[in-house]
A = this chain, B = another copy of it.
Amino acid sequence: MHLQATPAGDLGHLHARKKHCLPNGALAGTLFLEANNTIIKEGAALDYIHVMHMGWACRYNIMKDGKRQISAFLLPGDVCESTPMYGTLIDYSVCTLTPSLVKPISIEKPVGFGQPFDQLQSILSGSLLEQRLLRAWLANLSRRSAYNRVAWLICELHERLSIVGLADETGFDCPLTQEVIADAVGLTSVHVNRVMKQFRDENLFSFRSGRVAFAGVQKVRKLCGFDPAYLHLDLAQHIKTTSTSRVQLSDCP
């Protein structure tokens, strides 16, 4: 997708029409945002973290020639900030892809002070997991065909959504447009479309009207070499902290 390269790297035509939700219980302080609303602007200093409660968002950068590179999809439960360290300058933007509920949480000022160790540890773990995802994406973009690249992304989304209960073996609701997928995997939307057609024709999965419907997830995973290990590794290790059998770690993203 080509966009006008505005100085701030922001989508100029978007306006954050935030409104507060019913301030009862868990939703207190949660913001409701329409699709295509900016949550984080590149260049800002970090003072809040934003937790996705509902809806999808993406982390992206606009390049000098107007091309957009998406570096992460943010699903319910995810934190929009890749390293929530107070005061750091943010080198990416985040915008919603669907109507969303986002909860901002303010951060203690001096990093570390007054924060329990396990909070620091979770920031570190989060940052580490982000790195793993980025390395996996790097390998995906760099070394796979368009066909496998798209399949792999679908597998990642499926796996991550499964973890939060938003996907099962039959598939998942996926609000992404083919253009957004293209900007994530480094293709054109036209080519993404062709690849999707191929997946349909080969009866692997369909991507239509906002839903990915599988005819066998394992077949798809095998074909594109998807191994969910890189998503769990840390989590599993973190929970058990020590003394564990950590099995399938060596394989590539």
A residues with CB within 8 A of B: 7-9, 42-43, 45, 61-65, 67, 69, 71, 82-83, 85, 87-89, 91-92, 110-113, 117, 120-121, 123-125, 127-128, 130-132, 134-135, 137-139, 141-143, 185-186, 225, 227, 230, 233-234, 237-238, 241-242, 246, 249-253
Contacts and interface: CB of A to CB of B under 8 A. Distances in A.
A125 B252 CA distance: 21
A180 B26 CA distance: 51
A143 B62 CA distance: 11
Contacts of A125: 85, 88
A65 B138 contact: no
A127 to B, nearest CB: 4
Given A85-B128, A134-B138, A42 B250 contact: yes
A242 B89 CA distance: 11
Given A117-B111, A132-B91, A143 B250 contact: no
18 contacts: A42-B249, A61-B135, A61-B253, A63-B253, A65-B225, A69-B138, A71-B135, A82-B128, A88-B237, A89-B237, A113-B117, A124-B124, A124-B127, A127-B127, A127-B131, A130-B131, A137-B138, A138-B141
Contacts of A138: 69, 71, 134, 137-138, 141
B131 A111 contact: no
A89 B253 CA distance: 15
A252 B88 CA distance: 16
Contacts of A117: 110-113
Contact of A120 (B69, B71, B112): B112
Contact of A9 (B64, B112, B230, B252): B252
A5 to B, nearest CB: 8
Interface centre among A67, A111, A131 (most CB of B within 10 A): A131
